[in-house]
Chains A and B, each alone.
Chain A
């Protein structure tokens, strides 16, 4: 139970091309006594509560007011209900817009967008739950009880106040008219139902270990001292600080995946493992090293997990399945070496995949790389070579060409679209060179350089036709981790790109009989996403697939593609287009049968 404003913003921008402020304007219009929606009175026992609106009326009003199709109005209406601006009266847990006589009511609480920021503290939902506990005399629902207990553990020191305040709010409520009290109850319940959080966020928060401040302060001081020389404002910046001299060479030299990085950057990778792994160039170099040691799948797995956590959440199930097939399944092409317990936990979690389902495995692999490979990497010729190659730019002194009265030439940086194209090309080139290695050694696989980690954001899908009065917005993403990832990957998941391009693809289809039924669905979705997206990605991927894949594989691939085109059905296409929020659930792979196999093999191994 908390309001996660950034998360909400992210979800909103991914699902709806209209900006929340525009929605608010719309909702205000609905209240207009002359041109707004007709209200009815809700009758509860002997009380009449006014201002109930019928779902069908809402829909008709939206259609007329915005001049959009019924389908789009229905989507917009459902969004409005999902985000709590309007709440259903008869089925409070069903947050959809029903177009019959189902009644809804408005509430103010969600209305002002800025106010979402005001309720982030867990104190408020705790008070609400305690109040509900009093009203229901302890008869809360299961998930409410769980939340209550978790919140109690999390903010136990506030609990006396919470109980005091809950009691007082309950008593103060009695001073109001009965009908008002009822309406307020419904409203509050709807609000907290909309803003509930999956319990695991709390469980994770509880599991975090706390550190003594003296220790953490020492760590901070050490960190600051170590990285002082890297700070372009506090130390000398080579060639020059762009903010001061107006010369962007510094940024060019330190671009995400520049050919030859600066020496300072390469030296920074030696400070600790996290510095290495958060730098995309560092990861690239590290991956080169790992491939030589035949453990490249570790880093690829780690990157795939990051994509799962911070990437497009509507594709969580598919991504989790792909990761499982590629890295975790018995006999997987790039099987990672994790211990039995972690594997068991992960496979169990994959039955109900969510963004953190691979955390345990990811941490294991991270620690493995950190403790094992990292040390060797720093002594390896790969790293030393990079260190030698690294450039030390000359410090340029700004010529005092100041105060010229002519207008200074403003140079703009290259368009992100072009940058992305260049990165795609670089990625394709890397994957191409990687394919050659596979011919020599069957244990390594081509390493796709995930566009996701180059840090550029995918532009919001331009193919969305929005109504004339409303403009799609691009809200900035802030991810908690170091790496900035796009929130809606318009390009197909890099794993599926790898699947497509890998020459070993057809052989996979024979060996894994039980997987084959699901395989076409995944590549089918890849097909669809490559078809539906516009922009630079389109030009890169099919070209890449055509030229790099050897002829035999290409033929079988194109044949399979031909087959799949035939069974392309429009609902699937429609649902995978960027406009639509829902992901078809028919494609969920039941992992039970696979898990049983796993259990059997592990039993055999144990014996």
Chain B
């Protein structure tokens, strides 16, 4: 039970970290906006909450002497995953801070880098926050205001990592990965991947399929209405 809970918490943190990375990669480019900065803030705070939850749970379990050897090994493995995730998160947060300082949004002289990206990241943010739609309620100078909080939170994460190393004695290099290299290929179901050279044909196909189905439905509906009208006309006349 505890193992499943830990795993679930870790998966949640992993998901939020991945979304955060996507958003951080957008800062400074043409898709940057006040909304993005708000999304970053919210995602980051969620990540922190999850990190604290993970840490509490895992430290509790690792300190528990009644845990069996196999379970302990598994929890140590999860611990290593957790600390690596925090490491990534911290780097991304620092990057966000640097870029945030470098690219303030309300200064007309500072131009955004023309990275070729123009769409928003609201979908990514919604995925991170596990909501259907994102609500934007922040001020229009959040890009500057948020930086102080960001700095504080980076320090918090740094301290958390330090405490973790001091209190929990898990030598990382003794943990062996469960998954073999290349395991990432096995369980990804939907393979509508965009390969490097061109947008994949498969994706286009599925897109067209949906629109085709929709067109078919509309057509048949129109046909039915036309038939019904014709029948009415015939009946009335």
Where the two chains meet, the residues of A that have a C-beta atom closer than 8 Å to any C-beta of B are 27-28, 31-33, 36, 39, 42, 44-47, 49-53, 105-109, 111-112, 114-115, 118-119, 121, 123-124, 127, 130-138, 148-149, 152, 156-173, 175-187, 189
B124 touches A175 (CB 8 A): yes
- Complex: A158 Cα to B91 Cα, angstroms: 16
B117 at the interface (CB under 8 A from A): yes
- Complex: A42 Cα to B21 Cα, angstroms: 26
With a cutoff of 8 Å between Cβ atoms, the chain A residues found around residue B198 in the complex are 44-45
- Within the complex, the shortest CB–CB distance from B88 to chain A, in Å, comes to 6
- Which one, B46-54, B65-73, B185-193, B211-219, is touching chain A? B185-193
With a cutoff of 8 Å between Cβ atoms, the chain A residues found around residue B174 in the complex are 157
B118 at the interface (CB under 8 A from A): yes
With a cutoff of 8 Å between Cβ atoms, the chain A residues found around residue B184 in the complex are 130-131, 133-134, 163, 166-167
B41 at the interface (CB under 8 A from A): no
With a cutoff of 8 Å between Cβ atoms, the chain B residues found around residue A159 in the complex are 177, 179, 181
- Complex: A176 Cα to B118 Cα, angstroms: 10
A33 touches B111 (CB 8 A): yes
B98 touches A182 (CB 8 A): no
> Chain B, 76-106, contact with A by CB distance < 8 Å: what is the 0/1 string?
0100110011011001001100110010000
Give the interface centre of B30, B176, B184 by most chain A CB atoms within 10 Å.
B184
B127 touches A111 (CB 8 A): no
Contacts A111-B102, A136-B193, A136-B196 supplied; 17 other A-B pairs, CB < 8 Å: A28-B111, A46-B204, A50-B118, A51-B116, A108-B25, A134-B185, A159-B181, A164-B81, A165-B18, A179-B116, A180-B31, A180-B117, A182-B194, A183-B117, A184-B117, A187-B25, A187-B116
B203 at the interface (CB under 8 A from A): yes
Q: In the complex, which residues 5-56 of chain B have their Cβ closer than 8 Å to any Cβ of chain A?
A: 11, 14-15, 17-19, 21-22, 25, 27-31
- Within the complex, the shortest CB–CB distance from A102 to chain B, in Å, comes to 16
Q: Helix, strand, loop or mixed for chain A's interface?
A: helix
A52 touches B81 (CB 8 A): no
Of all chain A residues, which has the CB nearest B28?
A108
How many residues on chain B are close to A (CB under 8 Å)? 68
Question: Which of A31, A47, A114, A172 has a CB less than 8 Å from the CB of B112?
Answer: A31
Of all chain B residues, which has the CB nearest A166?
B184
- Complex: A371 Cα to B221 Cα, angstroms: 94
Of all chain B residues, which has the CB nearest A164?
B14
**13 interchain pairs, CB-CB under 8 A:** A45-B198, A115-B95, A121-B91, A133-B185, A157-B176, A160-B177, A165-B14, A172-B124, A176-B119, A178-B203, A182-B194, A187-B116, A189-B196
B162 at the interface (CB under 8 A from A): no
- Within the complex, the shortest CB–CB distance from B17 to chain A, in Å, comes to 7
B223 at the interface (CB under 8 A from A): no
Question: Which of B95, B112, B121, B179 has a CB less than 8 Å from the CB of A160?
Answer: B179
With a cutoff of 8 Å between Cβ atoms, the chain B residues found around residue A28 in the complex are 110-111, 113
Given A115-B95, A165-B18, A177:B175 Cβ within 8 A: no
- Complex: A170 Cα to B127 Cα, angstroms: 13
- Complex: A163 Cα to B179 Cα, angstroms: 8
Give the interface centre of A39, A163, A172, A183 by most chain B CB atoms within 10 Å.
A172
Question: Which of B11, B126, B179 has a CB less than 8 Å from the CB of A175?
Answer: B126
Of all chain A residues, which has the CB nearest B175?
A157
Of all chain A residues, which has the CB nearest B117?
A180
B169 at the interface (CB under 8 A from A): no
Given A123-B84, A134-B184, A134-B193, A173:B22 Cβ within 8 A: yes
Question: Which of B17, B118, B176, B195 has a CB less than 8 Å from the CB of A180?
Answer: B118
Where the two chains meet, the residues of B that have a C-beta atom closer than 8 Å to any C-beta of A are 11, 14-15, 17-19, 21-22, 25, 27-31, 77, 80-81, 84-85, 87-88, 91, 94-95, 98-99, 102, 110-121, 123-124, 126-128, 172-179, 181-185, 187-188, 191, 193-196, 198-199, 203-204
- Within the complex, the shortest CB–CB distance from B78 to chain A, in Å, comes to 9
For the complex of A and B, list the 8 residue pairs with the smallest distance between their C-beta atoms, beginning with the closest: A177-B119, A175-B123, A168-B18, A159-B177, A51-B114, A183-B116, A31-B111, A108-B28
With a cutoff of 8 Å between Cβ atoms, the chain A residues found around residue B191 in the complex are 137
With a cutoff of 8 Å between Cβ atoms, the chain B residues found around residue A175 in the complex are 121, 123-124, 126-127
B116 touches A49 (CB 8 A): yes
A172 touches B177 (CB 8 A): no
- Complex: A481 Cα to B84 Cα, angstroms: 30
Question: Which of A107, A115, A138 has a CB less than 8 Å from the CB of B185?
Answer: A138
Given A137-B193, A165-B17, A176:B115 Cβ within 8 A: no
- Within the complex, the shortest CB–CB distance from A17 to chain B, in Å, comes to 24
A172 touches B114 (CB 8 A): no
Question: Which of B28, B124, B193 has a CB less than 8 Å from the CB of A111?
Answer: B28
With a cutoff of 8 Å between Cβ atoms, the chain B residues found around residue A173 in the complex are 22
A157 touches B94 (CB 8 A): no
Give the interface centre of A27, A53, A157, A189 by most chain B CB atoms within 10 Å.
A157
- Within the complex, the shortest CB–CB distance from A463 to chain B, in Å, comes to 35
- Within the complex, the shortest CB–CB distance from A252 to chain B, in Å, comes to 44
With a cutoff of 8 Å between Cβ atoms, the chain A residues found around residue B117 in the complex are 179-180, 183-184
A51 touches B115 (CB 8 A): yes
A137 touches B185 (CB 8 A): yes
Give the interface centre of A46, A105, A183 by most chain B CB atoms within 10 Å.
A183
Question: Which of A31, A127, A164 has a CB less than 8 Å from the CB of B113?
Answer: A31
Given A136-B195, A175-B126, A176-B119, A107:B113 Cβ within 8 A: yes
With a cutoff of 8 Å between Cβ atoms, the chain A residues found around residue B25 in the complex are 108-109, 184, 187
Given A108-B115, A177-B118, A183-B115, A165:B193 Cβ within 8 A: no
A118 touches B114 (CB 8 A): no
B121 touches A176 (CB 8 A): yes
A118 touches B115 (CB 8 A): no
With a cutoff of 8 Å between Cβ atoms, the chain A residues found around residue B84 in the complex are 123, 158, 161-162
Question: Which of B30, B111, B181 has a CB less than 8 Å from the CB of A149?
Answer: B181
- Complex: A455 Cα to B35 Cα, angstroms: 54
